Structure 1
């Protein structure tokens, strides 16, 4: 079979998709660990805590009820949609009707559904960069064109109105807005959120806002929903969210999108053909999470805050690494441009990494610590580390990185 014939076996649309870099790093780390290697993984944004007991119990009880053994509405169980609407009002001050909610198989499906519903071929979507790896791929799958707007550590990884204005064209349809941010942990102030929302409204743009890290902010920093801060957006805003990060439920796969009734109806039609309803058991568990206390969330946040301070201090102790202190989520985004081109002694002789991807590969090979290079999120020269892993692993992983990178020449 010729190479040309082989390539034709996979559609161009799917062939163009890059594997999730964060999941790839996590998978490699877990495979090495399964093979007996003492690998420490800073790759996946996955809390090390168990899902709170009351949520697990709700799922156990639901599993014994025959009504949950059947198909349910593709858009979500009515009780969960109501819980999501109530929770949105509670946490964001944004009032929606349950009919404006679509429950999805995790946050990623909410992202894909949204862009597939809003984007026509050639439409441009402005993406503040560094970005989560899934955003541009979902946009491209929908036929859209991601337009990156990069904000480096010099400006706190926060884009400005001037930068957004420079990226605007007559093909721009959507602004993607994420605060707190994955991968940087940056959080926009209430004033910045309102300013950006008003700008988007004045330009007639849709805003898609991912609020999945809304409960994870530190140092007195506030989460602000752009839907509330800029009422001028009216019905041209879609909110993405889920239970994964706040309630340590990454494996339960429940997310949602909130938007105008016509958009939600269209996205529900799409989902009815793609996956139909989310597992009823998982939906009941998610409803228990959203209607229950935030006590467990607050406890996890204390641990994340402690780890945040430890990892920032540890990385900033390395010559050539500059790590801003994030005020949200559970990631640090360190600037390693000062190490690129330096010589490192390895088991295979001296090596000079020229990119953050090469540096990350070197760290994994030499000291068995998995981190995600900046190429997964935008330009080279940076690395993302999640501090959602345990305290002991975090301390040991940082120690290994310090020891290896400290030998740069």
Structure 2
């Protein structure tokens, strides 16, 4: 008899988390990280920085600990962080957000997303539309909420969706349209026409828009436009972001979600039974970060763009076809010219061959679409410049 409850087995199977024998399937991320440790390869597979964020933010966390901010914070988040999120949305996007009724702080963007889906999905007939490839937790969260996942493919070289296919995917069964912009893993920043079509379809089919904007300040070749700023969008949009990517503090797990008060109340109802609260001393530190000068945010995007250029140059020198990103941590490249038509196998061989670790893009797509992305590989550029220069040198000299 299985020790895994039936409900969880169904959820895990729907999200691709179980192997064919019913055991927990190891992820490609764990496999590639183990390969990096075993071979001494440079790990460009996982999307986390290898250097700390701004000193002002780190010092604010130390100060909060010293001042005794080490117990449960309020369930919605500390008032100063709620106010800072509201100020941030007005400062950068002209959005008016009520800090007392329209914002909650979460354990990173992943909890914000999961709480939102659990709160707003009504039953198994509901559908969630996402762009594919998609961040791997999306399928798991949709399955956990008991909904059906419908996907709209993003194709190289620009990874912008076909608007006709988007319109076909959104129906009266669509409960949520989930938009990740800037997009992980492709690095795309969606055109204004794409965002406008999402809003039109949401209005037509009475769907809720949920946005994952964790890379909002790391768009460097195209401007980031929050969907909530578009006409007609605000009343049906929940906007999710976090501090981890912007301030290089991914381990702090401080995220947030804001939107109409009645939707936020529904999300809070679920969130309070998940983590309840988190990161008490990190919340004032994130508030300090959100109030940093414009120069900090501009420089963060410019620095990341330079890192992508270093990585991209090494990939091109090695013979990859590179799809230059518009934002985010990742560069996608086609390994087919190097005999990497099977990207998963290519990535398994890459640590020994070149001393570099990457992730196949097939890790971010449904099984039925893996053939469409078979030769594509994702590399993380969010590392120190000397590390990227060494990785670029290894790649260029290995093919």
**Length-normalised TM-score, structure 1:** 0.86
Corresponding position of 1:38 = 40
Corresponding position of 1:309 = 309
| Unpaired segments ≥5 residues, structure 1 | 343-352
Q: Is the 8 A contact 1:21 1:372 kept in 2?
A: no
Counterpart CA distance in 1 for 2:12 and 2:330 is 30
Corresponding position of 1:326 = 325
Among 390, 398, 401, the residue aligned to 2:392: 398
Mapped pair 1:240 → 2:237: no
Corresponding position of 1:359 = 346
Corresponding position of 1:350 = none
Question: CA RMSD of the aligned region, Å?
Answer: 2.3
Counterpart CA distance in 1 for 2:76 and 2:28 is 29
Counterpart CA distance in 2 for 1:10 and 1:262 is 29
Q: Mean Cα displacement is larger for which, 191-200 or 328-337?
A: 191-200
Change (3 A) 1:20 1:224: farther
SS of match in other structure, 2:271: helix
Mapped pair 1:62 → 2:64: yes
1:29 is displaced (CA, Å) by 5.3
Change (3 A) 1:9 1:147: closer
SS of match in other structure, 1:70: coil
SS of match in other structure, 1:274: coil
Change (3 A) 1:54 1:20: farther
Counterpart CA distance in 2 for 1:182 and 1:92 is 22
Q: How does 1:259-338 map to 2 (within 5 A)?
A: 259-319=259-319, 321-338=320-337
Corresponding position of 1:12 = 9
Corresponding position of 1:126 = 129
Counterpart CA distance in 1 for 2:170 and 2:12 is 29
Q: Is the 8 A contact 2:314 2:392 kept in 1?
A: yes
Counterpart CA distance in 2 for 1:30 and 1:365 is 9
1:330 is displaced (CA, Å) by 2.2
Q: Is the 8 A contact 1:113 1:270 kept in 2?
A: yes
Counterpart CA distance in 1 for 2:354 and 2:336 is 20
Corresponding position of 1:142 = 145
Corresponding position of 1:209 = 211
Counterpart CA distance in 2 for 1:116 and 1:9 is 18
Corresponding position of 1:372 = 359
Change (3 A) 1:29 1:52: farther
Among 78, 86, 105, the residue aligned to 1:103: 105
1:30 is displaced (CA, Å) by 5.9
Q: Is the 8 A contact 1:129 1:377 kept in 2?
A: yes
Corresponding position of 2:50 = 48
Counterpart CA distance in 2 for 1:200 and 1:101 is 22
Q: Is the 8 A contact 2:76 2:103 kept in 1?
A: yes
Change (3 A) 1:313 1:112: same
Counterpart CA distance in 2 for 1:75 and 1:234 is 21
Q: Is the 8 A contact 2:11 2:143 kept in 1?
A: no
Q: Is the 8 A contact 1:334 1:384 kept in 2?
A: yes
Q: Alpha-carbon deviations, 1:71-121, whole Å to 9, x = none?
A: 222111111111111111212222111111110011111111111111133
Q: How does 1:112-191 map to 2 (within 5 A)?
A: 112-122=114-124, 123-154=126-157, 156-191=158-193
Q: Is the 8 A contact 1:25 1:372 kept in 2?
A: no
Q: Is the 8 A contact 1:330 1:387 kept in 2?
A: yes
How many residues are paired up?
Answer: 381
Counterpart CA distance in 2 for 1:203 and 1:129 is 21
